Chain A
Amino acid sequence: MTEGTGWAVLVLPLALTAFALLALAADAVVEVRVAHARRSVAAAAADPWREVARLLVGQRRTTVAADGVLWRSGVVTVPLAALLAALVLPLGGFAAADPGVGIVWFNAMEILGWAALWTAGWGPNSPLSLIGGYRFVAQGMCYELPHMFALITAATGAGTLRVGGIVDAQAELWFVVWMPVGFVVYLISAAAMAFWGPFDAPLGRDLSGGVVAELSGVDRLVLLTGRWLLVVVAAGMAVPLFLGGGRGPLLPAWLWTLVKTALVLTFLLWSRRRFPTVRMERFTEVSWLVLLPLTILQALIVALVVLV
């Protein structure tokens, strides 16, 4: 795998943002159809741009007795965590970095997102925002253990924590084929780590927006962009972990990576519309009593196959 800093600084943020904008536009078009709005598809596809412009000119607001430092640093850390996690994301044969502990790095940056959302929720001194922060911590407790076992299973199958190595290990057989449980759990946790889809309680409508309830203008733009970046990165990581990386017939590797990422992203967009928000009060039971044992079993089977 080729590494490059120029890649990291220039191409990666742009590529991720472009991908997120495309997904946003697609989602806006679907929304118009659902809402039976009398608008053209082109107008709907331009919605994300209009929203960006609106937030850029909007006034930044503050609240009474807010903890400004915590609040703003939490907001900025959301996109930062997404970009840092994306450093180990390979596009075809290239990656910004391919360290020997790539998987651990990805996992650590995603946990940085917990801290980010928690402080962003705590900062404005507003009850609804604070509850949003609480919710994400509870969510982390639920999804993280099965998620880690899913990551470990892929690493065990390849015998390395290096993302490039995991892609190489799938030359003959994609991991999704013999680690289906790991893959499914990864998809669930991908939504959960980006507080996305059915796991969007931290930004819930019942909380009038939760963590983003008090955010306006550019602050709001930064956090919401960070969330879209997190979704794209989480979807993108499924490709090297379980879907054979850039492998595929005819098309070049980078294109295959994009196609596969788009498919995973489409699934995440679909599941957000398909399911109501899952409350952790109910999901904990499923997560700890069903998903966790299943992922451990999956890891055990993979370990035995690798040993024998």
Chain B
Amino acid sequence: MALNPADADLVVVAGPLTHRFTEPVERIWRQVPRPRAFVRVREHEVGDRLDTASVVLSRGGEHEDGGGEVPNGLVMADRGTDRDGLALDRLHVPLGPLLPNWPAGLVVHTTLQGDVIQHAQVDPPDEVGVGEDFWRWPWWPAGTGEEITSGGVARIRLVELLDALGRLFAVAGWLDVAVRAGVLRDFLLEGAESAWVRRRLLRLITRVRRSRTWWWLTAELGEHRHSVVGDVSTRCSAWLNEMERIVVDLDSTESVPLDGLGSGDRSVPVSPQRVLPELLEGTEFASARLIVASLEPWRSPDEVGSPGGVDD
């Protein structure tokens, strides 16, 4: 997958294109160099659509004239004092809603001096959370009277955690581990055999735990006394612990009572907007990306430290 429009040939919109994304997607499309192709896919037609797109590309691509230059959202720089009291250029740069390895839909308006974030402001989330439907899928059968097993619940939680970890590792430039986490996530979604998953997952967990570089790089990052637990490294460590704990449940066919799903009520995606500005202000860009990636976008900050979170 391309990291930026400049490196892309193909723009794929998977799923519904909500109001919030229409303009950003258009802007990205205008920035993609030719030859290029634009594809919209709904469920179950991914393969066909991508095949068509590759044929279009091989014939020189779809020459849609976007017309004119791209306003890249860059406001002229002004001046302001930085943390050392020096008058430096200030750039107003919005992050999101579409950025690789970034929670889809999250928009943070930042004021940058150099690569230091001086000010951050988070847009209120859409009324319908992005990705909300997807993450509720172990509970889909709830209405149909089908049984929900704790193995199924463990599977979706592992997918969710691997997705979050993959994003964190990718942002940290630890691509090898990020790719491995992504592979495991995809195999879990495809319903891979649990013994195989367990073996791979434990190997991944061990590798991350043993990396001194990783803990050195993420310690004391994104700490906040009231709203979130620990720093980036403790939050990562909590995810690893949780994965290790629930991976044994993968085979379980024990049915989960519906009223036990209280903690699974993700219908209201609680935005990180309350904590993020405080966590991000004064950090460097790379640290800010790590901090965002260390928080689960659709869980409330109070939940981060709850039983699903830190494990001592």
Q: Which of B13-21, B39-47, B153-161, B282-290 contacts A (4 or more CB under 8 A)?
A: B282-290
Query: Known interface pairs A127-B93, A216-B6, A276-B172. Does A206 touch B285 (Cβ–Cβ under 8 Å)?
Result: yes
Q: Tell me how far the C-beta of B233 lies from the nearest C-beta in chain A, rounded to whole angstroms.
A: 12
Interface size bracket, A side: 35 or more
By a beta-carbon cutoff of 8 Å, the part of chain A in contact with chain B is 31, 34-36, 54, 57-61, 63-64, 125-128, 131, 134-135, 198, 200-201, 204-209, 212-217, 220, 273-279, 281-282
The listed residue (B71, B93, B170, B214) touching A64 by CB distance below 8 A is B71
Q: State in angstroms the CA–CA spacing of A288 and B27 once bound together.
A: 44
A64 with B114: CB separation less than 8 A: no
Can you show 12 pairs from A to B with CB atoms below 8 A apart?
A34-B179, A131-B112, A201-B173, A207-B285, A208-B3, A212-B4, A212-B7, A275-B211, A276-B217, A277-B286, A279-B287, A281-B286
In the complex, residue of chain A having the shortest beta-carbon distance to the beta carbon of B285: A131
Contact A214 B213 (CB under 8 A): no
B74 contacts across to A, CB distance below 8 A: 64, 125-127
Contact with A along B89-132 (1 / 0, CB 8 A): 00101000001110000000000101100000000000000000
Measured between C-beta atoms, what is the minimum distance from B215 to chain A in Å? 10
Select A131's contact among B115, B179, B214, beta carbons within 8 Å: B115
Chain A residue contacts of B99, Cβ below 8 A: 208
Stretch touching chain A among B28-36, B140-148, B249-257: B28-36
Give the CA-CA distance A252 to B127 in the complex, in Å: 71
**Given A276-B173, A281-B286, 7 other A-B contacts at CB below 8 A?**
A60-B33, A125-B74, A206-B289, A206-B290, A212-B7, A215-B7, A220-B7
B139 at the binding interface (Cβ < 8 Å): no
B7 near A64 with CB under 8 A, answer no
In the complex, the answer to whether A209 meets B7 with C-beta atoms within 8 Å is yes
- Max chain B Cβ within 10 angstroms of own Cβ: one of A60, A208, A281: A208
Docked complex Cα distance between A208 and B2 (Å): 9
- Chain B: residues with Cβ within 8 Å of the partner, total of 47
**B173 close to A214 (CB less than 8 A):** no
Interface check B174, CB cutoff 8 A: yes
Supposing A64-B71, A125-B74, A126-B72 touch, asked if A273 and B176 sit within 8 A by C-beta, the answer is yes
CB atoms of A205 and B4 under 8 A apart:
no
Write the nearest CB–CB distance from B258 to chain A, whole angstroms: 36
Known: A61-B6, A125-B74, A282-B216. A273 touches B284 (CB 8 A): no
Q: How far is the CB of B275 from chain A (nearest CB, A)?
A: 20
B284 / chain A contacts, CB cutoff of 8 Å: 279, 281
Distance A61 CA – B4 CA, assembled complex (angstroms): 13
> Which of A35, A59, A212, A275 contacts B213 (CB under 8 A)?
A275
With A209-B7, A220-B6, A277-B172 as contacts: A63 and B70 at CB distance below 8 Å:
yes
Assembled-state Cα–Cα distance A57/B100 (Å): 25
- A residues less than 8 Å from B299 (CB atoms): none
In the complex, chain B residues whose CB is within 8 Å of the CB of A215: 6-7
Contact status B6-A204, CB under 8 Å: no
User: At the interface, yes or no: B9 with Cβ under 8 Å from chain A?
Assistant: yes
Could you tell me if A279 and B286 are in contact, using CB atoms closer than 8 angstroms? yes
What are the residues of chain B within 8 A of A281 when measuring CB–CB? 284, 286-287
Taking the complex as formed, is B171 at the interface, i.e. its CB lies under 8 A from any CB of chain A? yes
- Please give the residue numbers on chain B whose beta carbons come within 8 Å of chain A beta carbons, in ascending order: 3-4, 6-7, 9, 31, 33-35, 69-72, 74, 91, 93, 99-101, 112, 114-115, 169-177, 179-180, 182-183, 187, 211, 213-214, 216-217, 284-287, 289-290
- Docked CA distance A276–B218 (Å): 10
A residues near B214, Cβ cutoff 8 Å: 276
| A residues near B71, Cβ cutoff 8 Å | 64
Which residue of the partner chain B has the closest CB to A62?
A: B69
A181, B187: Cα distance in complex, Å: 44
Q: Is the CB of A204 within 8 A of B286?
A: yes
Chain B nearest CB from A300 CB (Å) reads 29
Are A36 and B100 in touch, CB under 8 angstroms?
no
Residues of A within 8 A of B216 (CB): 282
Smallest Cβ-Cβ distance to A213: which chain B residue: B4
B101 CB contacts on chain A under 8 angstroms: 205-206
Closest to B2 in A: A209
Is B183 touching A36 in the complex (CB atoms < 8 A)?
A: yes
Q: Name the residue of chain A whose CB is nearest to the CB of B110.
A: A127
Compute how far the CA of A216 lies from the CA of B9 in the bound complex, rounded to whole angstroms: 10
Pairwise interchain contact B112-A127, C-beta atoms closer than 8 A: yes
| A216 contact set on B, CB distance < 8 A | 6-7, 33
> Taking the nearest CB of chain A, how far is it from the CB of B30, in angstroms?
10
Of the candidates B3, B176, B187, which one forms a contact with A205 in the assembled complex, judged by CB atoms under 8 Å apart? Answer: B3
**Contact A205/B70 with A57-B35, A61-B6 known, Cβ cut-off 8 Å:** no
A residues less than 8 Å from B174 (CB atoms): 275-277
Residues of B within 8 A of A60 (CB): 33
Instruction: From A54, A198, A212, A216, name the one whose CB has the most chain B CB atoms within 10 angstroms.
Output: A216
